[in-house]
C-alpha cells in the first residue's frame, strides 16, 4: 500500500471520527445575529418526552446599500417625513430589522438541557423551525420554573450565546390568546399612516388598565399566547414593550415578512387568513385546555374569534373585544358576528375595568399550569 493511499485512509478515518463534532459545530459568524423566539412545548405521553418547538431567525444587518437607501426614501416620501427622521434612534432601530440580509441554508446546533440537537436548515427568509424531543430527565438544569431554557453558541472564538425559551405547558389549564395592536398597545390600525408612525417613530404606548387585568389572570394561573399580524421583525421591540409595561411573559405567534418581496407598506395586511391557523393549532395541540380570546374591533378579531367559538364551543370560556374606532362598524355588527354564540360568552368593552370578571372563572383554574 502506498504512502499516499495510507494517508487518504487515515484522513477518512479521522474525518469519520470527527464528523459528529463537525456537524454540531456552530457556524454563526461574527457579522451575523440570531434571535430565538419563545414557543410552547407539549408532553407526548407515548414517547414519555417533551416535544419542544424551536423557531429562530438568523440574519446579517445591512448598514449601507442602495436597496436600503431606496426603501428609506420611499418610506419617508409616503409619510411626508423629513430626511432628519432617519437619524432618530427609534426609527433607525426598528426599520433596520427589515433591511437585513437573511442567512439561508444554515443548520445550527441547539443545546437544550443535557442534549445537543442539529436543527433543520434556515430558509430564504433566514427563519428555521424544528421540533426536538427531550425527556424530563434530560431537561435537567435547563428548566426555569415552567420554562425550558436552550441556547445556540456563536462560532469558536466568539463569546456570544443566543438563548431561547419554550414553556412546558401542561395538557390541562386555561390559556389567554391575546392580540397586540389596539388590544394591549395603542396602534390605530384602521389608519394605516398613523399605524406606521406609531410603529416606527414613537415609543409604544399600552392600553391603560390592560396590564393590570392580565396580571390578575396570570396570578390565577392562566398562560399567555400573544398573536399578532405584525411581522417577526418587530418582535424584539414588542417583547420589550410587554416586559416594560408589566404584561405577563408569554409565547409569540407573528407573521413572516420579507421587505425584499413586498414593501414596508404591505406588512400590516388583514389578519383574516393569518390568525385562524395559529389559533386552531393551539386548540389541536392542547385538546384538554380551555381558552379566553382577547382582541379588538379594529379589524377582524370579532369575526375570527366567533368562528373559533362555534368550532370549539366547549373550549372557549369567553371572548373579550375592546371597542375601537372603525369607520366600517355598523350597529348590528356584533349581533350578527356572534350569532349562535351565547351572549354569556362574549363581552364588548371600552374600559379594561369592565373585564373585572375574574371570580366567574376561578372554579376553572387548574392547580398547575
pLDDT tens column, 50-68? 999 999 999 998 766 666 6
Q: Check residue 356 and give its pLDDT.
A: 64
CATH of 173-364, one of 3.40.50.1000, 3.40.605.10, 2.60.40.10, 3.40.1710.10: 3.40.50.1000
pLDDT digits (tens, 9 = 90+) for 68-110: 666 666 666 666 766 565 557 788 788 888 888 999 999 999 9
* Neighbouring residues of 88: CB distance < 8 A, sequence distance ≥ 6: 201
Fold equal for 26-60+102-168 and 173-364:
no
* Angle at which helices 275-285 and 301-311 cross, to 10°: 30
Q: pLDDT grade, residue 189 (50/70/90)?
A: confident
Spell out the domain ranges in the chain: 26-60+102-168, 173-364
pTM: predicted TM-score of the whole model, two decimal places: 0.85
Q: How far apart are CA 147 and CA 28, in angstroms?
A: 25
Provide the CATH number for the domain formed by 26-60+102-168 in this structure.
Answer: 2.60.40
How many percent of the chain have pLDDT more than 90?
56
Amino acid at each position: 500500500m502506498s504512502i499516499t493511499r495510507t494517508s487518504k485512509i487515515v484522513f477518512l478515518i479521522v474525518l469519520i471520527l470527527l464528523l459528529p463534532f463537525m456537524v454540531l459545530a456552530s457556524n454563526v459568524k461574527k457579522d451575523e445575529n440570531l434571535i430565538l423566539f419563545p414557543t410552547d412545548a407539549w408532553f407526548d405521553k407515548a414517547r414519555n418526552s417533551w416535544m419542544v418547538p424551536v423557531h429562530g431567525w438568523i440574519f446579517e444587518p445591512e448598514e449601507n446599500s442602495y436597496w436600503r437607501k431606496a426603501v428609506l426614501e420611499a418610506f419617508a416620501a409616503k409619510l411626508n417625513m423629513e430626511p432628519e427622521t432617519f437619524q432618530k434612534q427609534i426609527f433607525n432601530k426598528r426599520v433596520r430589522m427589515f433591511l437585513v440580509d437573511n442567512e439561508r441554508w444554515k443548520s445550527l446546533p441547539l443545546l437544550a438541557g443535557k442534549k445537543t440537537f442539529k436543527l433543520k436548515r434556515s430558509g430564504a427568509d433566514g427563519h428555521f423551525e424544528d421540533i426536538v424531543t427531550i425527556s424530563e430527565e434530560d431537561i435537567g438544569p435547563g428548566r426555569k420554573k415552567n420554562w425550558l431554557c436552550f441556547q445556540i453558541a456563536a462560532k469558536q472564538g466568539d463569546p456570544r450565546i443566543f438563548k431561547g425559551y419554550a414553556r412546558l405547558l401542561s395538557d390541562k389549564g386555561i390559556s389567554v390568546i391575546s392580540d397586540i395592536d389596539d388590544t394591549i398597545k395603542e396602534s390605530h390600525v384602521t389608519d394605516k399612516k398613523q399605524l406606521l408612525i406609531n410603529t416606527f417613530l414613537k415609543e409604544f404606548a399600552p392600553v391603560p388598565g390592560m396590564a393590570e387585568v392580565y396580571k390578575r389572570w396570570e396570578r390565577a394561573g392562566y398562560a399567555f399566547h400573544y398573536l399578532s399580524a405584525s411581522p417577526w421583525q418587530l418582535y424584539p421591540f414588542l417583547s420589550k414593550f410587554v416586559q416594560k409595561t408589566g404584561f405577563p411573559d408569554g409565547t409569540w405567534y407573528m407573521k413572516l415578512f420579507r421587505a425584499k418581496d413586498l414593501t414596508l407598506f404591505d406588512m400590516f395586511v388583514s389578519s383574516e387568513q393569518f390568525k385562524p391557523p395559529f389559533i386552531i393549532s393551539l386548540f389541536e395541540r392542547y385538546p384538554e385546555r380551555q381558552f379566553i380570546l382577547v382582541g379588538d374591533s379594529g379589524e377582524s378579531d370579532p369575526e375570527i374569534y366567533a368562528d373559533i367559538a362555534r368550532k370549539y364551543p366547549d373550549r372557549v370560556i369567553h371572548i373579550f373585544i375592546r371597542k375601537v374606532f372603525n369607520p366600517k362598524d355598523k350597529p348590528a355588527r356584533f349581533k350578527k358576528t356572534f350569532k349562535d354564540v351565547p351572549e354569556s360568552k362574549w363581552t364588548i368593552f371600552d374600559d379594561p375595568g369592565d373585564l373585572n370578571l375574574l371570580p366567574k372563572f376561578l372554579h376553572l383554574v387548574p392547580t398547575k399550569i
